[in-house]
Amino acid sequence: MKETNKIGIMICDRYRRCAGGKCFRSLKDREGAFSRYKDMEIEVVGYTSCDGCPGGNIEYAVDEMITNGAEIIHLATGLIVGYPPCPHITYFHDYIKAKYGLEVVYGTHPIPEKYLKMHKIMGTWNSNEWQAIIKPTLVDEKTRLAYN
């Protein structure tokens, strides 16, 4: 029997109407940040937004996700690729780790090519910190194009 991981997904509030199509597709196909689960079963136990800047729902939503068995929290790719990217993403990561002791993963679905191109033009992700943040969702061009 394969190991099962229970995860929660936090999305950016500007995408609060998002139905999660890219996240759930990449979870099914084990692409982007979900490639880490290639040989594991996954159960999504929570999917919600941060509730807008500065992220008032991070505390409450993670509490509920833990009640539902969450072991890992994914900070959705929308927090990374938005214009501008979430200014609180590293705080969310560090806060969840410190308060709950959970593993926190940057990203869900692969970065779409159109976002990578624009952020390269803008120089958004030039720092070492941002390079580490985008790493789990930075995939080959063919896959990036498929997520445009």
With a cut of 70, which residues of the chain have pLDDT below it? 1-2
Give the per-residue pLDDT at 3. Answer: 74
| Of 60, 67, 58, residue with least CA distance to 93 | 58
Task: Please give the domain boundaries of the chain with CATH numbers for all domains.
Answer: 4-146 (3.40.50)
* Cis bond before residue 87 (omega within 30° of 0): no
- pLDDT (0 to 100) of residue 1: 47
The token duo for 127 is 């720092």
Inter-axis angle of helices 57-67 and 89-100, to 10 degrees?
40
pLDDT, position 107: 98
Asked whether 78 and 18 are in contact (CB, 8 A), the reply is yes
DSSP 8-state code for residue 110: P
Q: Are 73 and 81 in contact (CB under 8 A)?
A: no
pLDDT value, residue 73: 98
Contact criterion met (CB below 8 Å) for 100 and 65: no
Instruction: Return d(Cα 35, Cα 136) in angstroms, integer.
Output: 8
Residue type at 140 in one-letter notation: D
Give the residue carrying structure tokens 């941060």.
50
32-67 confidence digits (pLDDT tens) = 999 999 989 999 999 999 999 999 999 899 999 999
Biggest distance spanned by C-alpha atoms of the chain: 46
